[in-house]
Structure 1
Amino acid sequence: MKTRVIIADDHPVVIQGIRDILEKNGQFDVIATFNDGKSLLRSPLLAKADVLLLDLNMPAVDGLQTLERLNRTELSCKIIVITSYLSSQLAEQCKQAGVHGYLVKSEDLYLLVKRIQDVLAGESPFPDFSQPDQPMGNDFSYFDEFLKKYKLTKREVEIIRMVCNDYSSKEIADKLYLSTFTIQTHRRNIIKKLGLDDSKISLYRFAMDNGVI
Protein backbone atom coordinates (compact mmCIF):
# COMPACT_ATOMS: atom_id res chain seq x y z
CA MET A 1 0.00 0.00 0.00
CA LYS A 2 1.33 3.44 -0.92
CA THR A 3 2.08 6.09 1.71
CA ARG A 4 -0.64 8.74 1.55
CA VAL A 5 0.77 12.27 1.55
CA ILE A 6 -0.70 15.74 1.87
CA ILE A 7 1.35 18.78 0.78
CA ALA A 8 0.67 22.26 2.20
CA ASP A 9 2.74 25.07 0.69
CA ASP A 10 1.91 28.52 -0.65
CA HIS A 11 4.07 28.11 -3.77
CA PRO A 12 2.47 26.02 -6.55
CA VAL A 13 5.90 25.41 -8.11
CA VAL A 14 7.15 23.87 -4.86
CA ILE A 15 4.03 21.72 -4.57
CA GLN A 16 4.46 20.47 -8.13
CA GLY A 17 8.16 19.76 -7.58
CA ILE A 18 7.46 17.73 -4.45
CA ARG A 19 4.57 15.91 -6.10
CA ASP A 20 6.78 14.96 -9.07
CA ILE A 21 9.52 13.61 -6.79
CA LEU A 22 7.12 11.53 -4.71
CA GLU A 23 5.04 10.17 -7.56
CA LYS A 24 8.11 9.21 -9.61
CA ASN A 25 9.36 7.26 -6.62
CA GLY A 26 6.28 5.05 -6.77
CA GLN A 27 5.89 4.55 -3.02
CA PHE A 28 3.68 7.57 -2.43
CA ASP A 29 0.19 8.77 -3.25
CA VAL A 30 -0.33 12.55 -2.98
CA ILE A 31 -3.97 12.64 -1.92
CA ALA A 32 -4.32 16.43 -1.59
CA THR A 33 -2.46 19.75 -1.81
CA PHE A 34 -3.23 23.06 -0.11
CA ASN A 35 -1.96 26.63 -0.41
CA ASP A 36 -2.97 27.85 3.04
CA GLY A 37 -3.45 26.54 6.54
CA LYS A 38 -7.14 27.34 6.79
CA SER A 39 -8.20 25.10 3.90
CA LEU A 40 -5.84 22.39 5.14
CA LEU A 41 -7.38 22.36 8.61
CA ARG A 42 -10.88 22.13 7.15
CA SER A 43 -10.07 19.11 4.99
CA PRO A 44 -11.46 15.68 5.95
CA LEU A 45 -8.51 14.16 4.05
CA LEU A 46 -6.21 15.00 6.97
CA ALA A 47 -7.62 12.02 8.83
CA LYS A 48 -6.64 9.74 5.93
CA ALA A 49 -3.05 10.93 5.45
CA ASP A 50 0.04 9.06 6.61
CA VAL A 51 2.33 12.07 6.16
CA LEU A 52 1.74 15.83 6.11
CA LEU A 53 4.42 17.97 4.43
CA LEU A 54 3.91 21.44 5.89
CA ASP A 55 5.38 24.78 4.89
CA LEU A 56 5.53 27.39 7.66
CA ASN A 57 5.03 30.47 5.52
CA MET A 58 1.40 30.30 4.39
CA PRO A 59 -1.44 32.86 4.19
CA ALA A 60 -4.62 32.88 6.29
CA VAL A 61 -3.27 30.45 8.90
CA ASP A 62 0.51 30.00 8.92
CA GLY A 63 2.41 26.80 9.66
CA LEU A 64 2.98 27.45 13.36
CA GLN A 65 -0.68 28.30 13.90
CA THR A 66 -1.63 25.18 11.95
CA LEU A 67 0.57 23.06 14.22
CA GLU A 68 -1.03 24.58 17.31
CA ARG A 69 -4.50 23.67 16.04
CA LEU A 70 -3.46 20.19 14.93
CA ASN A 71 -2.19 19.56 18.46
CA ARG A 72 -5.76 19.91 19.66
CA THR A 73 -6.90 17.11 17.38
CA GLU A 74 -6.30 13.37 17.33
CA LEU A 75 -4.41 13.50 14.05
CA SER A 76 -2.25 10.40 13.66
CA CYS A 77 -0.21 11.30 10.57
CA LYS A 78 3.48 12.17 10.70
CA ILE A 79 4.33 15.84 10.13
CA ILE A 80 7.44 17.01 8.30
CA VAL A 81 8.08 20.73 8.05
CA ILE A 82 9.58 21.92 4.75
CA THR A 83 10.76 25.50 5.12
CA SER A 84 13.18 28.17 3.92
CA TYR A 85 14.24 28.91 7.50
CA LEU A 86 17.40 27.23 8.81
CA SER A 87 16.95 28.19 12.44
CA SER A 88 17.53 26.11 15.54
CA GLN A 89 14.98 28.20 17.43
CA LEU A 90 12.24 27.68 14.88
CA ALA A 91 13.11 24.00 14.53
CA GLU A 92 12.85 23.59 18.29
CA GLN A 93 9.42 25.28 18.27
CA CYS A 94 8.32 22.83 15.61
CA LYS A 95 9.68 19.89 17.58
CA GLN A 96 7.82 21.03 20.69
CA ALA A 97 4.67 21.29 18.55
CA GLY A 98 4.95 17.62 17.62
CA VAL A 99 6.75 17.82 14.26
CA HIS A 100 8.54 14.60 13.34
CA GLY A 101 11.05 15.98 10.81
CA TYR A 102 12.41 19.27 9.45
CA LEU A 103 13.77 19.83 5.93
CA VAL A 104 15.18 23.13 4.65
CA LYS A 105 14.26 23.96 1.05
CA SER A 106 17.86 24.92 0.26
CA GLU A 107 18.74 21.23 0.67
CA ASP A 108 18.23 18.81 -2.19
CA LEU A 109 14.49 18.06 -2.20
CA TYR A 110 15.33 14.54 -3.33
CA LEU A 111 16.35 14.03 0.33
CA LEU A 112 12.63 14.29 1.09
CA VAL A 113 12.01 10.63 0.23
CA LYS A 114 14.69 9.61 2.74
CA ARG A 115 13.24 11.99 5.35
CA ILE A 116 9.79 10.49 4.96
CA GLN A 117 11.17 6.96 5.18
CA ASP A 118 13.11 7.89 8.32
CA VAL A 119 10.05 9.42 9.96
CA LEU A 120 7.88 6.42 9.14
CA ALA A 121 10.60 4.23 10.68
CA GLY A 122 10.29 6.16 13.94
CA GLU A 123 13.22 8.54 13.55
CA SER A 124 13.12 12.34 13.91
CA PRO A 125 15.40 13.86 11.26
CA PHE A 126 16.28 17.49 12.06
CA PRO A 127 19.18 19.60 10.73
CA ASP A 128 22.50 19.74 12.57
CA PHE A 129 22.61 23.07 14.33
CA SER A 130 26.18 22.71 15.58
CA GLN A 131 26.83 26.32 14.54
CA PRO A 132 24.79 28.59 16.82
CA ASP A 133 22.57 31.27 15.34
CA GLN A 134 24.28 34.63 15.22
CA PRO A 135 21.94 37.33 16.47
CA MET A 136 22.18 40.83 15.08
CA GLY A 137 23.96 43.28 17.36
CA ASN A 138 22.87 46.87 17.90
CA ASP A 139 26.21 48.03 16.48
CA PHE A 140 25.78 46.65 12.94
CA SER A 141 26.52 49.24 10.32
CA TYR A 142 23.04 49.86 8.94
CA PHE A 143 21.11 49.75 12.21
CA ASP A 144 20.11 53.44 12.21
CA GLU A 145 19.03 53.26 8.57
CA PHE A 146 17.04 50.12 9.37
CA LEU A 147 15.22 51.88 12.22
CA LYS A 148 14.42 54.88 10.03
CA LYS A 149 13.26 52.77 7.10
CA TYR A 150 10.69 50.85 9.15
CA LYS A 151 10.01 53.60 11.74
CA LEU A 152 10.95 51.20 14.52
CA THR A 153 12.46 51.98 17.90
CA LYS A 154 15.31 50.04 19.50
CA ARG A 155 12.82 48.75 22.06
CA GLU A 156 10.57 47.42 19.29
CA VAL A 157 13.50 45.61 17.66
CA GLU A 158 14.29 44.07 21.05
CA ILE A 159 10.68 42.88 21.33
CA ILE A 160 10.75 41.47 17.79
CA ARG A 161 13.80 39.38 18.72
CA MET A 162 12.16 38.10 21.89
CA VAL A 163 8.92 37.21 20.11
CA CYS A 164 10.93 35.29 17.50
CA ASN A 165 12.73 33.51 20.33
CA ASP A 166 9.30 32.30 21.51
CA TYR A 167 8.91 34.50 24.58
CA SER A 168 5.31 35.22 25.54
CA SER A 169 4.11 38.78 26.15
CA LYS A 170 4.21 38.14 29.89
CA GLU A 171 7.76 36.79 29.74
CA ILE A 172 8.88 39.78 27.69
CA ALA A 173 7.18 42.13 30.14
CA ASP A 174 8.93 40.48 33.09
CA LYS A 175 12.35 40.68 31.44
CA LEU A 176 11.94 44.30 30.34
CA TYR A 177 10.22 45.40 33.58
CA LEU A 178 7.15 46.56 31.70
CA SER A 179 3.48 45.67 31.93
CA THR A 180 1.98 42.96 29.74
CA PHE A 181 -0.40 45.59 28.36
CA THR A 182 2.57 47.72 27.25
CA ILE A 183 4.18 44.76 25.48
CA GLN A 184 0.94 43.87 23.72
CA THR A 185 0.61 47.50 22.61
CA HIS A 186 4.18 47.41 21.28
CA ARG A 187 3.42 44.21 19.37
CA ARG A 188 0.31 45.70 17.77
CA ASN A 189 2.28 48.80 16.78
CA ILE A 190 5.08 46.69 15.28
CA ILE A 191 2.64 44.67 13.18
CA LYS A 192 0.95 47.89 12.00
CA LYS A 193 4.24 49.63 11.14
CA LEU A 194 5.53 46.66 9.18
CA GLY A 195 2.22 45.96 7.44
CA LEU A 196 2.28 42.31 8.50
CA ASP A 197 -0.53 39.94 9.34
CA ASP A 198 -0.77 39.15 13.02
CA SER A 199 1.14 35.88 13.00
CA LYS A 200 4.45 34.85 14.47
CA ILE A 201 5.77 33.42 11.23
CA SER A 202 5.24 36.70 9.33
CA LEU A 203 7.22 38.53 12.02
CA TYR A 204 9.83 35.78 11.99
CA ARG A 205 10.15 36.06 8.20
CA PHE A 206 10.68 39.82 8.49
CA ALA A 207 13.29 39.33 11.20
CA MET A 208 15.16 36.71 9.19
CA ASP A 209 15.07 38.76 5.97
CA ASN A 210 16.46 41.83 7.73
CA GLY A 211 19.07 40.19 9.97
CA VAL A 212 17.21 40.94 13.19
CA ILE A 213 17.76 37.34 14.35
Structure 2
Amino acid sequence: MNSIISIMIADDHSLMRQGLRQILELEENIKVICEASDGEDTILKAIDKKPDVILLDINMPKINGIEALRRLKDIGCESKIIVLTIHDDREYLMRTINMGVDGYVLKDSDSDTLVKSIKDVYQGKTYIQPSLAPLLVRESDSNITKEESKKSSLTKREYEVITLIAEGLNNREIGAKLYISEKTVKNHVSNIFKKIEVNDRIQAAIFAYKNNIKKI
Protein backbone atom coordinates (compact mmCIF):
# COMPACT_ATOMS: atom_id res chain seq x y z
CA MET A 1 0.00 0.00 0.00
CA ASN A 2 1.69 3.16 -1.18
CA SER A 3 -0.77 5.87 -0.16
CA ILE A 4 -0.70 7.41 3.30
CA ILE A 5 -3.76 6.73 5.47
CA SER A 6 -4.75 9.84 7.42
CA ILE A 7 -6.16 9.21 10.89
CA MET A 8 -8.16 11.13 13.48
CA ILE A 9 -8.08 9.83 17.05
CA ALA A 10 -11.26 10.70 18.98
CA ASP A 11 -10.90 9.86 22.68
CA ASP A 12 -11.38 11.91 25.82
CA HIS A 13 -8.26 10.50 27.52
CA SER A 14 -5.09 12.30 26.47
CA LEU A 15 -2.86 9.37 27.48
CA MET A 16 -4.87 7.05 25.24
CA ARG A 17 -4.57 9.49 22.33
CA GLN A 18 -0.82 9.82 22.88
CA GLY A 19 -0.37 6.06 23.09
CA LEU A 20 -2.36 5.44 19.92
CA ARG A 21 -0.44 8.16 18.08
CA GLN A 22 2.89 6.59 19.05
CA ILE A 23 1.75 3.14 17.91
CA LEU A 24 0.32 4.32 14.61
CA GLU A 25 3.18 6.59 13.65
CA LEU A 26 5.52 3.60 13.71
CA GLU A 27 3.68 2.58 10.54
CA GLU A 28 5.12 4.27 7.44
CA ASN A 29 1.73 4.23 5.67
CA ILE A 30 -0.25 5.82 8.51
CA LYS A 31 -0.28 9.44 9.67
CA VAL A 32 -2.30 10.90 12.55
CA ILE A 33 -3.49 14.30 11.31
CA CYS A 34 -5.72 15.38 14.21
CA GLU A 35 -7.18 14.48 17.59
CA ALA A 36 -10.52 15.17 19.29
CA SER A 37 -11.43 14.93 22.97
CA ASP A 38 -15.23 15.03 22.76
CA GLY A 39 -18.04 14.20 20.37
CA GLU A 40 -18.70 17.74 19.18
CA ASP A 41 -15.02 18.29 18.38
CA THR A 42 -14.96 14.95 16.57
CA ILE A 43 -17.75 16.00 14.21
CA LEU A 44 -16.25 19.44 13.51
CA LYS A 45 -12.77 18.05 12.81
CA ALA A 46 -14.13 15.21 10.68
CA ILE A 47 -15.82 17.80 8.47
CA ASP A 48 -12.79 20.11 8.40
CA LYS A 49 -9.87 17.67 8.16
CA LYS A 50 -11.59 14.83 6.26
CA PRO A 51 -9.42 12.01 7.65
CA ASP A 52 -9.44 8.69 5.83
CA VAL A 53 -10.16 6.82 9.07
CA ILE A 54 -11.59 7.94 12.42
CA LEU A 55 -10.82 5.94 15.57
CA LEU A 56 -13.88 6.68 17.69
CA ASP A 57 -14.29 6.06 21.41
CA ILE A 58 -17.83 5.50 22.75
CA ASN A 59 -17.56 7.21 26.14
CA MET A 60 -16.90 10.88 25.43
CA PRO A 61 -18.27 14.15 26.88
CA LYS A 62 -20.76 16.56 25.24
CA ILE A 63 -21.75 14.03 22.58
CA ASN A 64 -20.92 10.35 23.08
CA GLY A 65 -19.38 8.23 20.36
CA ILE A 66 -22.64 6.53 19.41
CA GLU A 67 -24.35 9.86 18.78
CA ALA A 68 -21.27 11.23 16.99
CA LEU A 69 -21.31 8.16 14.73
CA ARG A 70 -24.99 8.69 13.95
CA ARG A 71 -24.50 12.35 13.10
CA LEU A 72 -21.45 11.68 10.95
CA LYS A 73 -23.41 9.06 8.99
CA ASP A 74 -26.38 11.43 8.68
CA ILE A 75 -24.26 14.19 7.11
CA GLY A 76 -22.64 11.75 4.69
CA CYS A 77 -19.16 11.78 6.22
CA GLU A 78 -16.89 9.81 3.87
CA SER A 79 -14.32 8.92 6.54
CA LYS A 80 -14.20 5.26 7.50
CA ILE A 81 -15.11 4.90 11.18
CA ILE A 82 -13.71 2.32 13.58
CA VAL A 83 -15.20 2.19 17.06
CA LEU A 84 -12.27 1.66 19.44
CA THR A 85 -13.70 0.91 22.86
CA ILE A 86 -13.50 -0.99 26.13
CA HIS A 87 -17.05 -2.27 25.60
CA ASP A 88 -17.13 -5.95 24.63
CA ASP A 89 -20.89 -5.66 24.89
CA ARG A 90 -23.37 -7.09 22.39
CA GLU A 91 -25.72 -4.10 22.61
CA TYR A 92 -23.00 -1.59 21.71
CA LEU A 93 -21.66 -3.85 18.97
CA MET A 94 -25.06 -4.37 17.35
CA ARG A 95 -26.05 -0.70 17.64
CA THR A 96 -22.91 0.51 15.91
CA ILE A 97 -23.12 -2.19 13.24
CA ASN A 98 -26.72 -1.23 12.48
CA MET A 99 -25.59 2.40 12.17
CA GLY A 100 -23.04 1.44 9.51
CA VAL A 101 -19.74 1.45 11.40
CA ASP A 102 -16.78 0.17 9.35
CA GLY A 103 -14.93 -1.51 12.19
CA TYR A 104 -15.20 -2.45 15.86
CA VAL A 105 -12.04 -3.05 17.89
CA LEU A 106 -11.39 -3.37 21.63
CA LYS A 107 -8.85 -1.12 23.32
CA ASP A 108 -7.04 -4.08 24.84
CA SER A 109 -6.30 -5.58 21.42
CA ASP A 110 -2.70 -5.70 20.21
CA SER A 111 -1.21 -3.13 17.86
CA ASP A 112 -1.22 -5.56 14.92
CA THR A 113 -4.99 -5.97 15.23
CA LEU A 114 -5.51 -2.20 15.28
CA VAL A 115 -3.26 -1.62 12.27
CA LYS A 116 -4.98 -4.43 10.34
CA SER A 117 -8.41 -2.96 11.10
CA ILE A 118 -7.30 0.44 9.81
CA LYS A 119 -5.84 -0.96 6.60
CA ASP A 120 -8.86 -3.20 6.01
CA VAL A 121 -11.46 -0.45 6.36
CA TYR A 122 -9.34 1.93 4.29
CA GLN A 123 -9.49 -0.66 1.48
CA GLY A 124 -13.28 -0.78 1.73
CA LYS A 125 -13.50 -3.91 3.85
CA THR A 126 -15.20 -4.26 7.21
CA TYR A 127 -13.42 -5.35 10.36
CA ILE A 128 -15.04 -6.77 13.46
CA GLN A 129 -12.54 -8.12 15.98
CA PRO A 130 -12.81 -11.92 15.72
CA SER A 131 -12.89 -12.37 19.50
CA LEU A 132 -16.26 -10.57 19.51
CA ALA A 133 -17.94 -13.20 17.34
CA PRO A 134 -19.36 -15.13 20.36
CA LEU A 135 -21.33 -12.00 21.34
CA LEU A 136 -23.28 -12.37 18.11
CA VAL A 137 -24.43 -15.91 18.91
CA ARG A 138 -27.22 -15.35 21.41
CA GLU A 139 -30.46 -16.49 19.86
CA SER A 140 -33.63 -18.25 21.04
CA ASP A 141 -34.45 -21.75 19.80
CA SER A 142 -37.00 -20.38 17.31
CA ASN A 143 -34.46 -17.95 15.94
CA ILE A 144 -31.89 -20.73 15.61
CA THR A 145 -34.36 -22.79 13.57
CA LYS A 146 -35.09 -19.80 11.33
CA GLU A 147 -31.38 -19.08 10.90
CA GLU A 148 -30.69 -22.71 9.98
CA SER A 149 -33.43 -22.53 7.37
CA LYS A 150 -31.84 -19.42 5.84
CA LYS A 151 -28.41 -21.08 5.86
CA SER A 152 -29.72 -24.22 4.13
CA SER A 153 -31.32 -22.07 1.41
CA LEU A 154 -27.91 -20.94 0.16
CA THR A 155 -26.51 -22.65 -2.91
CA LYS A 156 -22.96 -24.03 -2.84
CA ARG A 157 -21.69 -20.98 -4.76
CA GLU A 158 -23.56 -18.56 -2.47
CA TYR A 159 -22.06 -20.36 0.51
CA GLU A 160 -18.60 -19.80 -0.96
CA VAL A 161 -19.36 -16.13 -1.59
CA ILE A 162 -20.63 -15.45 1.93
CA THR A 163 -17.52 -17.00 3.49
CA LEU A 164 -15.44 -14.52 1.51
CA ILE A 165 -17.73 -11.63 2.47
CA ALA A 166 -17.11 -12.62 6.09
CA GLU A 167 -13.37 -12.39 5.43
CA GLY A 168 -13.88 -8.79 4.32
CA LEU A 169 -13.29 -9.27 0.58
CA ASN A 170 -15.00 -6.97 -1.92
CA ASN A 171 -16.78 -8.19 -5.07
CA ARG A 172 -13.72 -7.86 -7.30
CA GLU A 173 -11.57 -9.86 -4.87
CA ILE A 174 -14.26 -12.52 -4.50
CA GLY A 175 -14.52 -12.83 -8.28
CA ALA A 176 -10.77 -13.32 -8.55
CA LYS A 177 -10.83 -16.01 -5.84
CA LEU A 178 -13.70 -17.93 -7.42
CA TYR A 179 -12.77 -17.28 -11.07
CA ILE A 180 -16.07 -15.60 -11.84
CA SER A 181 -16.92 -12.09 -13.04
CA GLU A 182 -17.53 -9.18 -10.66
CA LYS A 183 -21.05 -8.89 -12.10
CA THR A 184 -21.75 -12.54 -11.27
CA VAL A 185 -20.49 -11.95 -7.71
CA LYS A 186 -22.80 -8.93 -7.41
CA ASN A 187 -25.76 -11.11 -8.42
CA HIS A 188 -24.80 -13.76 -5.87
CA VAL A 189 -24.44 -11.13 -3.14
CA SER A 190 -27.88 -9.73 -3.96
CA ASN A 191 -29.41 -13.22 -3.76
CA ILE A 192 -27.63 -13.91 -0.47
CA PHE A 193 -28.94 -10.68 1.07
CA LYS A 194 -32.51 -11.64 0.09
CA LYS A 195 -32.24 -15.20 1.38
CA ILE A 196 -30.74 -14.35 4.76
CA GLU A 197 -32.73 -11.10 5.08
CA VAL A 198 -29.90 -8.60 5.53
CA ASN A 199 -29.17 -5.21 3.97
CA ASP A 200 -25.39 -4.95 3.91
CA ARG A 201 -22.09 -6.82 4.00
CA ILE A 202 -21.48 -6.36 7.74
CA GLN A 203 -24.82 -8.00 8.54
CA ALA A 204 -24.00 -10.80 6.09
CA ALA A 205 -20.63 -11.30 7.81
CA ILE A 206 -22.38 -11.44 11.20
CA PHE A 207 -24.79 -14.05 9.81
CA ALA A 208 -21.78 -16.11 8.71
CA TYR A 209 -20.15 -15.83 12.14
CA LYS A 210 -23.36 -16.69 13.98
CA ASN A 211 -24.12 -19.69 11.81
CA ASN A 212 -20.58 -21.05 11.70
CA ILE A 213 -20.33 -20.67 7.93
CA LYS A 214 -16.78 -21.55 6.98
CA LYS A 215 -14.80 -22.41 3.88
CA ILE A 216 -15.84 -25.66 2.30
Quick check: TM above 0.5? yes
Q: CA deviation at 1:29?
A: 1.5
Going from structure 1 to structure 2, the CA distance change for 1:130 and 1:21 (only over 3 Å counts) comes to: closer
1:93 to 2:95 alignment: yes
The residue number in structure 2 matching 1:49 is 51
- Quick one: distance in 2 between partners of 1:123 and 1:2? 17
1:130-158 Cα deviation digits (max 9, x unpaired): 4348x9xxxxxxxxxxxxxxxxxxxxxxx
SS in 2 for 1:79: strand
SS in 2 for 1:106: coil
1:65-102 Cα deviation digits (max 9, x unpaired): 10111121121110001000001221111111111001
Query: What is the aligned length?
Result: 135
Q: CA deviation at 1:43?
A: 2.5
- Quick one: distance in 2 between partners of 1:57 and 1:109? 21
> Does the CA contact (< 8 Å) of 2:103 and 2:121 recur in 1?
yes
Q: CA deviation at 1:124?
A: 1.3
> Does the CA contact (< 8 Å) of 1:32 and 1:45 recur in 2?
no
**Corresponding letter in the other structure for 1:66:** A
Q: CA deviation at 1:14?
A: 0.9
Going from structure 1 to structure 2, the CA distance change for 1:46 and 1:90 (only over 3 Å counts) comes to: farther
1:74 to 2:76 alignment: yes
Q: Identity of paired residues, percent?
A: 34
Instruction: Give matches, 1:18-167, under 5 Å.
Output: 18-43=20-45, 46=48, 48-128=50-130, 129-132=132-135
The residue number in structure 2 matching 1:12 is 14
- Quick one: distance in 2 between partners of 1:50 and 1:118? 12
1:165-195 Cα deviation digits (max 9, x unpaired): xxxxxxxxxxxxxxxxxxxxxxxxxxxxxxx
**Corresponding letter in the other structure for 1:90:** Y
**Corresponding letter in the other structure for 1:27:** N
Going from structure 1 to structure 2, the CA distance change for 1:111 and 1:130 (only over 3 Å counts) comes to: closer
Q: CA deviation at 1:119?
A: 1.2
Structure 2: gaps of 5 or more residues: 139-216
Under a length normalisation based on structure 1, what TM-score does the superposition of the two structures give?
Answer: 0.58
- Quick one: distance in 1 between partners of 2:93 and 2:46? 27
Structure with greater helix percent: 2
> Does the CA contact (< 8 Å) of 1:46 and 1:75 recur in 2?
no
Q: Tell me how large the CA RMSD over aligned residues is.
A: 2.2
Going from structure 1 to structure 2, the CA distance change for 1:104 and 1:55 (only over 3 Å counts) comes to: same
> Does the CA contact (< 8 Å) of 1:56 and 1:62 recur in 2?
yes
- Quick one: distance in 2 between partners of 1:45 and 1:132? 33
- Quick one: distance in 2 between partners of 1:120 and 1:14? 22
**Corresponding letter in the other structure for 2:30:** F
Q: Which runs of 4+ in 1 moved over 4 A?
A: 44-47
SS in 2 for 1:24: coil
**Corresponding letter in the other structure for 1:14:** M
> Does the CA contact (< 8 Å) of 1:4 and 1:51 recur in 2?
yes
Going from structure 1 to structure 2, the CA distance change for 1:94 and 1:46 (only over 3 Å counts) comes to: farther
> Does the CA contact (< 8 Å) of 2:5 and 2:122 recur in 1?
no
Structure 1: gaps of 5 or more residues: 136-213
Under a length normalisation based on structure 2, what TM-score does the superposition of the two structures give?
Answer: 0.57
